[in-house]
Amino acid sequence: MTDHPHKIAAKMCYSPRLAARASGLTVDDCRIMRDKKSARYTERQRRDPLIDAKTTRLWRTPSARRRAQEEEGRRLAEFRAAIARERACEEHAEATRRSLLLAARAARALGFVVRSSRDRAGRISSYYCRRGDVTLRISNHDIPATPQRDYVAQMHGRDCHDGYHGRQLIIDEPRRYEWLRRAVVLTAAGRM
């Protein structure tokens, strides 16, 4: 014989008032049932500490603890070294971007009209300078070949994209202002 749907709902319900209303039992009886269910559940979830101790004894020996500490120390040292490398790379990239800005300012001081272009992250990646018929590109990278550039090059009768055709000053490491100013002058003259 199966139970009435209300009685099934009462067994599944956690609230004593709702269970009492659905099953026809008293609220106190429903509270007692709820407490027994809760006690059975917590008893099932409890683990015997002696069984836990037996299963983890191999990892609690002094040599095992020492190995675990050494392993943790090694992982922590690797993590710190990775953070230091990343920070050094970020600082180098920032210093290179500052050098690009100084080179653009030097070109502007020499009478060039300076225009900037940005990368996908929104940071300035290149400066295009023009004075009369002399054009100069100041950047930290060559122009990469892409399928779109290859297509445009083929439309203009070339086999593939072969880079920027004007004068370029590639700055891939931090430089002093004097060096940058001299490099801009020499590159604009076609001697660098």
Residues 175-186, mean pLDDT to the nearest whole number:
89
pLDDT at 61: 76
How many CB atoms neighbour CB 36 within 10 A? 10
More confident residue, 38 or 80: 80
* d(C-alpha 47, C-alpha 55), whole Å: 12
Reading the block at residue 4, the tokens are 């009435």
Number of H helices, E strands in the chain: 7, 4
Of 4-13, 59-68, 82-91, least confident by mean pLDDT is 4-13
Sequence-separated (6 or more) residues with CB below 8 Å from residue 104 = 114, 116, 127, 129, 138
- Secondary structure class of 173 (helix, strand, coil): coil
pLDDT at residue 192 tops 70: no
* d(C-alpha 163, C-alpha 135), whole Å: 15
The predicted-structure confidence for 140-152, as pLDDT tens digits, reads as follows: 887 777 788 788 8
The predicted-structure confidence for 152-162, as pLDDT tens digits, reads as follows: 878 887 776 66
- Secondary structure class of 117 (helix, strand, coil): strand
pLDDT at residue 7 tops 70: no
pTM beyond cutoff 0.75: no
CA-CA-CA-CA torsion for 85, 89, 95, 96, nearest 10 degrees?
Answer: 150
What DSSP character marks residue 135? E
